[in-house]
Structure 1
Amino acid sequence: MFATRYLPFVGRLMIGLPFAMSGLSKLGAYSATIGMIGAVGLPFPPLAFAVAVAIELGGGLLLIAGYRVRYAAPALRCPPGKHIESDVEERPQLSGDEIVL
């Protein structure tokens, strides 16, 4: 009885809580987040900030509550900013002799 009643909520809580906390931390550090978004080179940093907070905080809370999970989960799958590769450094190519620790 316990597993079928409360385990889905525990699972949604464990998945949705990090997203909601990330959205709240963005709200708490507005200027720093806007600065980081602008440093990456995205146009309209305030708009990108609003979209990121809406998706992370709103989607996380919807997931925790279990409301419209089929729509919230795909939105959380690809958070904004994860596709930006302008600051990603290329890894050096290793030959077969080198040991990577």
Structure 2
Amino acid sequence: MITLKEKIGYGLGDAASSMFWKIFGMYSLFFYTDVFGITAAAAGTMFLIARLWDSLTDLLVGIMSDRTRTRWGKYRPYLIWFAIPFAVMGVITFYVPDFGQTGKLV
């Protein structure tokens, strides 16, 4: 049986990650409409397409990671290999190029 202390510890362990992603999600809509300069409809469509793409890739990445067997474990290689691309994409996410509306959406 899982104790209350373990449940609270598990919940608090994920709280920081959850808070980060919620704040990121709320700020990104403000950023794309007010700072980046795209319309709210375009931003909403962009988020919809991103979520649909995410639903497909989650399945594929889950299958791929379940089938991974390395001497470093199942998930550690992905954490190591994708740390730098993830950081680069995090910076590019909030970069404001001098493009038109269509160029910014692409």
| TM-score scaled by length of structure 1 | 0.31
More helix by share: 2
Q: TM-score under structure 2 normalisation?
A: 0.30
